[in-house]
Structure 1
Amino acid sequence: MPRVLRYALLSLSAVAVALVALIYALTWHPAAREPAILTCQAEAPLLQPGQALKVMTWNLQYLAGKRYVFYNDLPDGEGPDERPTPEDLAYSLDEVVRVIREEQPDIVNLQELHEGARATDYQDQLAQLQERLADLYPCTSQAFYWKAAFVPQAHILGSVGMKLATLSRFKIESAERLQLPLALNDPVSRQFDKKRALLVSYLPIRDGGRLAVINTHLDALSDDPTTLKRQVAMTRGLLDQLQSEKLPWVLTGDFSQLPTGQYDRLPQVQRSHYPRNSELKTLWSRYPMIPSLEESGGAQQARWFTHYPNDPRVKGPDRTLDYVFHSPNLTRIEARVRQDDTLRISDHLPLAARFFLPSVHP
């Protein structure tokens, strides 16, 4: 081999190695299972057997508010807006605090909170909420599902950081992050993709039992239709395990899927992110779901819409994407979507449900 060619190949190899090292350094590589970040005051009270428990789930859309159409809000990816203003971020923070204080949930599961993201001025949005709600929630668990120092995508070109968070009035004993199956993508792009997860928090009950609180935000339908199936299957496996261990549990979040009957009522242009036959059937066929299929598909289904897309063609909430699943030994008392005064805060609406815990641990 000529010396010049040999040197050229060595140089190209060195560049390739350097590029791989750079990509690895810029991106995030969580373990399949690892402890979640947990803060909890020692004096936090314990759950009591038989008590009522109110749980709320809310995708906060990184406090951006509703005055924008972002690049990823339209089916064609051509939304004109890049980021919210500081004023809108502050307004949304105030409104989220107001709603949580008025609702007074015992447990709040939040999705799409930013930390260190260029698009939101590198805010730590969970820390902002904790500061404003410290008197209500002595315990918090959290887990990232998107993090990178730089994403070379035209609409981002900077750092990202997005997380799940669980706020609790009651003591959280431990918490863990479980990595969900990743979308099939090329090896380079996959490093910068979201890494969806389950955030599982364990709350001790005074009789010696525990309650598992699970928070998640699943992928929307992508070019890889098996991703949702694999993510739901793993989630079902966790629920089955908890059932076999006789642990009561609550699973909430943004599942990015429609209930039976809502796909066909959407305009054709709005259907691209959803499978016609929801993978959530794997969950609702075995475990209680809020809203139930009767609620989300009946005459009053509009009361259960939780998503108001940032699309000028959509004039109000028109679909259900957020749910609460629960173990059969939790007794549902009431549930509702708070729609009347939350339409400007996020593209999702808060869903709250109240239960009775089992009076005696199995």
Structure 2
Amino acid sequence: MPKILLRVLLWVVGLGLGLTALIYALTYHPRDLQEESISCTPDAPVLKAGQNLKVLNWNIQYLAGKGYVFFYDLLDGSGPDTRPSKEAMATTLQEVVRVIKAENPDVVLLQEVDTHSKRTDFQDQEKLLAEQLGYACSSSAYYWKAAFVPHPKILGAVGMKVVTFSRFKIDQAYRHQLPLIPADPVTQAFNFRRAILEVVLPIEGKDGLHIMNTHLDAFAQGTDAMEKQVLKTRAVLEGAGKNVLIGGDFNLLPDHAARDRLPTQLQAYYNPTSELNIILQQYSSTPSLQEVKDQPETWFTHYPNDPLARGPDRTIDYFFYGSGVKVGAHHVRREDTLKVSDHLPLVAEFEVQ
């Protein structure tokens, strides 16, 4: 081989290795199962058997508010906005705090909480919320994290978490990695790494309560990623036993009728048969399938930023729970939350049997 070709080959190989090392250094590489840190005050009370537990589940859209159509809000990626203003984030923070304090839940499950993202001025939104809400315990897990994303609408650092606050003691916390959307290695490296955050609340005199928090993918059209993520979610639930409860933004409709109600353009986000059936075969849900069939509008939890949506138009946020947990009163808080996020908070009371 001529020396010049050898030099070119070595240069190309070196460049490739360098780019691979750079991409790896910029992106997040969690293990399939890893412990997460817990913050708890020394006097955090321990949950008692038979005690009611009020839980609020809410995707807070990184405190952006409802005044935007972000680029990803449209199926073709053409939304005009890339970030919220400082004023919008400050206002939305106070509104999120107001709603949570008004509901006064024992446990809060939040999705889309930004930490050190360029688009939100590198705020630590978990810390901002913790300081104002004053819960005894908390834990969180990243599901999008990179020092720099080369997407033309981002071009900077990203950090997004699920966050769980609890009035009661948490003694264990784990992050479970969910299957990724199929893509080329570079795209996948910078993309979301969806996950389940599991925390365990000890209960006096019996097995603890496993509370999970998740946010499944939203842009998996044409792949089997949603099915795989739901299968993994069911497996994680099964591994926790009967005292288990999960809440989150599942980005899945409850049934075919819910899909039919959407404009044709928006139906493309969902498969005709909902992947949630995989969980519903074994676990109860709130809202239940019967509730969403009888009174669908009562249980709408998503108000898309897409201009086609004139108000909340679908249910994609849920609780699922095991046989050791009984559900009580539950509702979607709608009347004063329509301008806070593109999701509405879902609130329910539970009791460990």
**CA offsets 1:111-160 (integer angstroms, 9 cap, x no match):** 000001000000000000001012xx110010000000000101100000
Aligned equivalents of 1:193 and 1:110: distance in 2?
20
- The CA deviation at 1:224 is 4.6
1:219–1:255 contact (8 Å) kept in structure 2: yes
Aligned equivalents of 1:9 and 1:355: distance in 2?
63
Give the structure 2 partner of residue 43 of structure 1: 43
**CA offsets 1:188-239 (integer angstroms, 9 cap, x no match):** 1111010000100000001142000000001125245211111111111122
2:250–2:317 contact (8 Å) kept in structure 1: yes
Structure 1 segments of 4+ aligned residues over 4 angstroms from their partners: none
Letter of the 1:327 counterpart: G
Give the structure 1 partner of residue 191 of structure 2: 193
Give the structure 1 partner of residue 258 of structure 2: 262
Aligned residues with identical type, % of pairs: 48
State the Cα RMSD in Å.
Answer: 1.0
Aligned equivalents of 1:356 and 1:5: distance in 2?
71
Residue 176 in structure 1 maps to residue 171 in structure 2: no
Give the structure 1 partner of residue 159 of structure 2: 161
1:59–1:254 contact (8 Å) kept in structure 2: yes
SS of residue matched to 1:205: strand
**CA offsets 1:65-84 (integer angstroms, 9 cap, x no match):** 00000000011110001110
Residue 297 in structure 1 maps to residue 293 in structure 2: yes
Give the structure 1 partner of residue 75 of structure 2: 75
1:221–1:274 contact (8 Å) kept in structure 2: no
1:69–1:311 contact (8 Å) kept in structure 2: yes
1:220–1:274 contact (8 Å) kept in structure 2: no
Aligned equivalents of 2:208 and 2:140: distance in 1?
19
**CA offsets 1:216-274 (integer angstroms, 9 cap, x no match):** 0011252452111111111111222223xxx4111100000001120011110111211
Letter of the 2:202 counterpart: P
Give the structure 2 partner of residue 115 of structure 1: 115
SS of residue matched to 2:262: coil
Aligned equivalents of 1:199 and 1:172: distance in 2?
12
Give the structure 2 partner of residue 236 of structure 1: 234
SS of residue matched to 1:263: helix
Aligned equivalents of 1:304 and 1:182: distance in 2?
29
Give the structure 1 partner of residue 90 of structure 2: 90
Q: Identify which of 208, 220, 226 aligns with 1:210.
A: 208
1:221–1:228 contact (8 Å) kept in structure 2: no
**CA offsets 1:274-301 (integer angstroms, 9 cap, x no match):** 1111110011122110111111122x21
Give the structure 1 partner of residue 280 of structure 2: 284
SS of residue matched to 2:237: helix
Residue 248 in structure 1 maps to residue 243 in structure 2: yes
Residue 332 in structure 1 maps to residue 332 in structure 2: no
**What is the TM-score with the length of structure 2 in the denominator?**
0.98
Letter of the 2:197 counterpart: L
Q: Which runs of 5+ in 1 are unaligned?
A: none
**CA offsets 1:10-34 (integer angstroms, 9 cap, x no match):** 1111111111111111111111111
Aligned residues: 352
- The CA deviation at 1:357 is 1.9
Give the structure 2 partner of residue 8 of structure 1: 8
Give the structure 2 partner of residue 127 of structure 1: 127
Aligned equivalents of 1:317 and 1:16: distance in 2?
47
- The CA deviation at 1:322 is 0.1
Q: Which runs of 5+ in 2 are unaligned?
A: none
